[in-house]
A = this chain, B = another copy of it.
Amino acid sequence: MKFRAAIDIMPLPALLDPQGKAVSTNLPNIGLSDISNVRIGKHVTLEVEADSPEAAESQVNEACTKLLVNEIMEGFTFRLEEVK
């Protein structure tokens, strides 16, 4: 079975996010003063070949914790869906 995963990797809430802060600060300059709390992270999509949704999930988890995510500074969530 083939699965597609969509992973969101965001800076932890307790940490400053300078990139998001820069965007928040500059939005009023382009006329968008009602937007706040901008935070910027990474979005990763990938495909996994696995026997079950659980096996796919564990592979995605491993890819995140071993390679994609710095867990000291970032948290992650992901969605899995089967590709027909």
Contacts and interface: CB of A to CB of B under 8 A. Distances in A.
A35 B80 CA distance: 13
Question: Copies per complex?
Answer: 2
Contacts of A9: 43
A43 B76 CA distance: 11
A26 interface: yes
A37 B7 CA distance: 13
Contacts of A24: 46
A61 to B, nearest CB: 11
A38 to B, nearest CB: 4
Interface of A: 6, 8-10, 20, 23-24, 26-27, 30-32, 34-50, 59-60, 62-63, 66-68
